[in-house]
Amino acid sequence: MAERHYISKKNETVRMFKSDFMEFLSHVHPVTPLVLYLPVVGYMLYLAFWQSRLSILAMTGLFLLGVLIWTLLEYIIHRYVFHYEPKTALGKQLHYIIHGVHHDYPNDARRLVMPPSISIPLAILFLALFAITLGRFAPAVSAGFGFGYVCYDSIHYAIHHFAMKRGVWLWLKQYHLRHHYRDDHVGYGISSPLWDYVFRTTRK
């Protein structure tokens, strides 16, 4: 998939499932993550401040830790799950559904954010994991983690559908589009290229 040219129709899409119900579930409005998870982020911050009695400084540090954890997970999922190369026919079909379709139709506006049928179970899993391992610090870290996820989905959508002509936004757009149209074996970070620099996957 490397060395593609910068050509893509704005509203291109493709039907993925024979079932109308499954096809419906595969289309997600881009504001869905904000509607679902920003209230959760707000509630986690409330718990951190009023229930856990954390200081503003502690909350800020733990919130940023949560964002950092998200960026690492974003990198790992994109590199090792989304870009895993299966050998079986079933594996190839699942890979196409999970991520391959995005590379073939990168500007499909209704397939740019994660479906709630996947994101909600993952959110519950990580909330439980943080609660078990971090105790009273879990809400602040969870808030940062959830905010990081919302930023990821929002930035990813914006990269493919907004002009983003200046500054860091233009840089992020160009960084991600290089992954799509030049070399999909580098540039796995979307909301942040941090871990690409750490693991030396900014370029080959």
Alpha-carbon distance of 48 to 37, in angstroms, equals 16
Query: What pLDDT sits at residue 39?
Result: 97
Amino acid at 118: I
Query: What pLDDT sits at residue 26?
Result: 64
Q: Which residues are within 8 A (CB) of 114 and not within 5 positions of it... i.e. 6 or more apart?
A: 28, 33, 153
Alpha-carbon distance of 162 to 90, in angstroms, equals 35
Please tell me the pTM assigned to this model.
0.85
pLDDT along the chain (204 residues), means of 10: 37 65 70 95 93 89 98 95 84 69 69 81 95 95 97 92 89 90 90 95 81
Residue 26 C-alpha from the chain's centroid: 16
Query: What pLDDT sits at residue 104?
Result: 65
- Residue 43, CB-side half-sphere exposure with 13 Å CA sphere: 6
User: What does the block give as tokens for 56?
Assistant: 């503003």
Query: What pLDDT sits at residue 108?
Result: 72
What are the boundaries of each domain within the chain? 32-153
| H/E stretch holding 75 | helix 56-76
Q: What is the DSSP letter of 11?
A: T
